[in-house]
């Protein structure tokens, strides 16, 4: 099936849907700011500003409105990926990981805050992470393809403070493999800490110390433990002690390790996942994540005693700190698209929060078109902890102005759902009168390692049955079968296709299948085996689906491409041509198979875009295409 290729015709910005007009530009430009990073040494808060193009803007720390900022250069950041922005005091510039054309060929770049010129400091196929030493040197972890398909060779390398020379320190090999992490520099620069996986397995994550006088990956955690979280805080507790997070007990815990004595101790076990943490003197500040709302906790680094806890709610991200007691947070929620708050941590460990920048009420009223309700629903199995039906958390987003449930179209998020976070996509569909149901199905983060591991090795199995249970719960709330569909991106795009082509009998599910009315799959993979061979995250496939070398037939059977004959509902595929995380070939081959089988499929390619669709013009066109797809294929009268 030939795709619809989005062209260059300027969008009008207003899309008609079931008798109402949806002003997409109002959603995308109504309050067009997103915080990126902050550093008091630079006296700058960086924010993304969305307009015809996405620009990076510098806002002074004494500002009261992000609109007061000035653009840094004229780069159109819709055409580039950009991660992990941090201030580099030695060069008075910002550092970031980025690419040049949305293909995730990530390298380390330097951005001049005055001229806006960005300069590549490395030239690698991919970079896992980086960090800055107290003396200004920079450690990076580049990843390079190895001879075998899906395999990589990674190293720790150090650039001097002006990035003129690069020194290899240690490379992985044998059973220990470097993975995603930001190296944690020793205060005196004598070594650093990184994350490694054993045998390339994400459920065998460990922390390793690399001493520069004898470079090697010295694993400091128990190597044989099952562990999916293992990472070090970038700042050490003292000259010989670093702090790290692991989850081998089933819950995230903070540990301290003395590299001189070779001894570790557990500081505290948290009651939620630790999404981020930083050292402030003899205190540790941690972001505690749970899908229904985050909290901020302060712990005494010696006793582990909690000295403060702030139930902030929504989703929290640390933007930066001054190293002495002030922490800046980004705070968003399902009903708030922007917030920057400053937390002052006292010498006694107390914490006080002060809102700093937020969304004006007039803008909030024009952006928020949903009412948000926190719900639980029973799924198909029994929770061994309670002996009762397992309950799953979800958010239900209902249009403030919309039809009654019996007349409503409902989109159910197939994966990465359930978080209390801002989603423009959800608000656009609420504006169109369409309800969104966002469940945290098994395998979701935020409920401990055991719940997160429930879909390991079972990709496309019981996690899909959770969607079937969610759809039946929606029917119990008055929503109509025939109006309920499924949507998702990446893993969620795969899960969307899988839900529409689920073979009866998979994991024993036969009588509890659900006939979804439609599917919207963005950047999804249709064949697990071809995705493994071409993607830049093959280790994720091994954890979630299985090893292609030993479980080829299973992975083939779990692939929607192999079951196109079961597709009974209209499917829409959207994919960026430059996607390197999930190559566009995954959607192309699904569209071709649908056409050969005479199955209902609409395919939209987005030229120049990567794993996400950015840019005002392309986003307007994609939303317009999705609303037209739903209007044409899901009658509600």
- DSSP character string of 440-463: --TT-SSS-HHHHTTTTT-TTSHH
Identify whether 305 is part of a domain.
yes
Scan for tokens 């007691």, then name that residue: 325
Q: Would you state the pLDDT for residue 64?
A: 87
At 472, give phi and psi (nearest 5°): -65, -35
Scan for tokens 């797809």, then name that residue: 629
Tell me the average confidence (pLDDT) per consecutive run of 10 residues in the chain, 637 residues long. 55 82 88 94 93 91 90 93 96 97 96 95 97 97 80 93 94 92 97 95 96 96 94 96 96 97 96 95 95 96 96 95 92 95 95 92 89 97 93 98 95 97 96 97 93 96 98 98 97 98 97 97 98 91 94 98 97 96 97 97 96 91 95 90
CA atoms within 13 A on the CB side of 447: 21
Token pair in block for residue 266: 């557990």
Identify whether 226 is part of a domain.
yes
Residues 452 and 574 in one domain: yes
Nearest of 290, 283, 197, 214 to residue 243 by alpha carbon = 283
SS (H, E, C) 33-83: EEEEEEECCCCEEEEEEECCCEEEEEEECCCCCHHHCEECCCCCHHHCCEE
Residues found in the chain: 637
Residues 377 and 500 in one domain: yes
Calculate the alpha carbon distances from 190 to 160, 216, 418 in Å.
Answer: 14, 13, 43
Q: Would you state the pLDDT for residue 412?
A: 98
**CATH code assigned at 248:** 2.120.10.30
Q: Would you state the pLDDT for residue 364?
A: 85
* Distance, CA of 522 to CA of 243 (rounded, Å): 38
* Contact between 464 and 438 (Cβ < 8 Å): no
Token pair in block for residue 466: 């959770």
Domain boundary among 303, 338, 359: 359
Residues 354 and 391 in one domain: no
Helix (H, G, I), strand (E, B) or coil at 176: strand
Identify whether 20 is part of a domain.
no
* Distance, CA of 222 to CA of 212 (rounded, Å): 22
Identify whether 380 is part of a domain.
yes
At 560, give phi and psi (nearest 5°): -55, -30
* Contact between 356 and 49 (Cβ < 8 Å): no
Helix (H, G, I), strand (E, B) or coil at 552: helix
Residues 326 and 417 in one domain: no
- What's the pTM value of the predicted model, to 2 decimals? 0.94
Domain boundary among 359, 390, 414: 359
Distinct helix (H) and strand (E) counts, the chain:
11, 40
Instruction: With residue 29 as reference, give the H or E element that holds it.
Output: helix 24-29
Q: Would you state the pLDDT for residue 584?
A: 97
Q: Would you state the pLDDT for residue 200?
A: 86
Nearest of 208, 206, 344 to residue 283 by alpha carbon = 344
Beta bridge partners of 510: none
Residues 244 and 341 in one domain: no
Q: Would you state the pLDDT for residue 616?
A: 86
Residues 523 and 578 in one domain: yes
User: What's the domain range around 149?
Assistant: 122-269
Q: Would you state the pLDDT for residue 460?
A: 98
Identify whether 32 is part of a domain.
no
* Distance, CA of 56 to CA of 69 (rounded, Å): 10
What is the side-by-side strand order in the sheet with 138-145?
126-132, 138-145, 152-159, 166-171
Identify whether 38 is part of a domain.
no
Residues 315 and 203 in one domain: no
Identify whether 49 is part of a domain.
no
* Distance, CA of 410 to CA of 518 (rounded, Å): 10
Beta bridge partners of 23: 14
Residues 171 and 312 in one domain: no
The DSSP secondary-structure symbol of 625 reads H
**CATH code assigned at 587:** 3.40.50.1820
The DSSP secondary-structure symbol of 251 reads S
* Distance, CA of 306 to CA of 293 (rounded, Å): 19
Instruction: Give residue 231's Cα distance to chain centre.
Output: 17
* Distance, CA of 258 to CA of 510 (rounded, Å): 54
Residues 490 and 576 in one domain: yes
Helix (H, G, I), strand (E, B) or coil at 93: strand
Residues 263 and 280 in one domain: no
CA 629, 572, 479, 313 dihedral sign is negative
Token pair in block for residue 304: 């582990």
* Contact between 461 and 427 (Cβ < 8 Å): no
Q: Would you state the pLDDT for residue 191?
A: 97
* Contact between 462 and 454 (Cβ < 8 Å): yes
Token pair in block for residue 18: 């079931």
Residues 265 and 279 in one domain: no
Q: Would you state the pLDDT for residue 8?
A: 47
* Distance, CA of 424 to CA of 28 (rounded, Å): 8
**CATH code assigned at 287:** 2.40.10.480
Identify whether 91 is part of a domain.
no
Domain boundary among 359, 392, 424: 359
Residues 242 and 262 in one domain: yes
Token pair in block for residue 10: 């300027």
Token pair in block for residue 499: 């839900």
User: What is the DSSP secondary-structure string of 155-212?
Assistant: EEEEE-TTSS-EEEEEE-BTTEEE-S---EE-TTSSEEEEEEEETT-TTBEEEEEEET
Helix (H, G, I), strand (E, B) or coil at 380: strand
Report how many domains make up the chain.
3
């Amino acid at each position: 099936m030939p795709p619809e290729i989005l062209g260059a015709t300027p969008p009008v910005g207003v899309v008609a849907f079931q008798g109402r007009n949806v002003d997409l530009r109002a959603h995308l430009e109504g309050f067009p700011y997103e915080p990126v990073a902050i550093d008091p040494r630079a006296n700058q808060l960086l924010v993304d500003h969305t307009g015809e193009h996405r620009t990076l803007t510098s806002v002074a720390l004494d500002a009261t409105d992000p609109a007061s900022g000035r653009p840094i250069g004229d780069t159109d950041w819709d055409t580039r990926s950009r991660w992990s922005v941090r201030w580099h005091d030695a060069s008075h510039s910002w550092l970031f990981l980025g690419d040049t054309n949305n293909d995730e060929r990530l390298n380390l770049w330097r951005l001049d805050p005055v001229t806006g010129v960005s300069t590549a400091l490395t030239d690698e196929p991919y970079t896992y992470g980086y960090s800055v030493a107290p003396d200004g040197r920079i450690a990076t972890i580049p990843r390079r393809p190895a001879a075998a398909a899906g395999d990589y060779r990674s190293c720790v390398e150090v650039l001097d403070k002006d990035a003129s020379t690069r020194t290899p320190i240690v490379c992985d090999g044998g059973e220990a493999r470097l993975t995603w992490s930001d190296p944690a520099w020793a205060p005196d620069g004598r070594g650093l800490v990184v994350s490694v996986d054993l045998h390339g397995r994400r459920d065998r994550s460990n922390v390793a110390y690399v001493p520069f006088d004898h470079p090697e990956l010295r694993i400091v955690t128990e190597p044989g433990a099952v562990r999916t979280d293992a990472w070090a805080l970038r700042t050490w507790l003292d000259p010989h002690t670093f702090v790290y997070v692991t989850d081998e007990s089933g819950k995230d815990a903070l540990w301290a390790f003395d590299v001189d004595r070779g001894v570790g101790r557990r500081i505290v076990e948290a009651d939620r996942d630790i999404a981020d943490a930083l050292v402030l003197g003899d205190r540790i500040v941690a972001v505690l994540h749970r899908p229904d709302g985050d909290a901020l906790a302060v712990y005494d680094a010696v006793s582990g005693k909690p000295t403060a806890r702030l139930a902030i709610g929504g989703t929290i991200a640390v933007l930066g700190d001054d190293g002495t007691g002030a922490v800046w947070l980004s705070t968003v929620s399902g009903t708030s698209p922007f917030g920057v708050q400053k937390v002052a941590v006292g010498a006694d460990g107390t914490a006080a929060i002060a809102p700093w920048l937020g969304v004006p009420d007039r803008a909030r009223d024009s952006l928020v078109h949903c009412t948000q309700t926190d719900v639980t629903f029973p799924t198909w199995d029994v929770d061994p902890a309670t002996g009762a039906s397992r309950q799953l958390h979800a958010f239900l987003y209902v249009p403030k102005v919309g039809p009654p449930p019996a007349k409503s179209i409902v989109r159910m998020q197939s994966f990465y759902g359930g978080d209390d976070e801002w989603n423009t996509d959800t608000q656009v569909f609420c504006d169109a009168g369409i309800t969104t149901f966002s469940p945290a199905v098994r395998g979701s983060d935020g409920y401990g390692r055991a719940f997160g591991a429930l879909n390991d090795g079972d990709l496309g199995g019981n996690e899909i049955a959770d969607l079937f249970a969610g759809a039946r719960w929606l029917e119990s709330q008055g929503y109509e079968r025939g109006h309920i569909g499924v949507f998702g991106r990446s893993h969620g795009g795969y899960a969307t296709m899988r839900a529409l082509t689920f073979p009866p009998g998979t994991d024993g599910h036969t009588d509890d299948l659900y006939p979804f009315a439609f599917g919207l799959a963005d950047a999804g993979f249709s064949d697990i085996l071809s995705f493994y061979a071409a993607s830049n995250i093959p280790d994720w496939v091994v954890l979630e689906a299985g090893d292609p070398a030993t479980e080829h037939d299973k992975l083939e059977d779990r692939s929607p491409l192999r079951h196109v004959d079961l597709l009974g509902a209209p499917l829409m595929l959207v994919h960026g041509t430059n996607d390197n995380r999930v190559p566009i070939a995954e959607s192309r081959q699904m569209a071709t198979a649908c056409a050969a089988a005479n199955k209902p499929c609409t395919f939209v390619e987005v030229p120049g875009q990567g794993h996400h669709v950015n840019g005002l013009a392309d986003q307007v066109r994609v939303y317009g295409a999705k609303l037209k797809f739903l209007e044409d294929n899901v009658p509600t009268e």
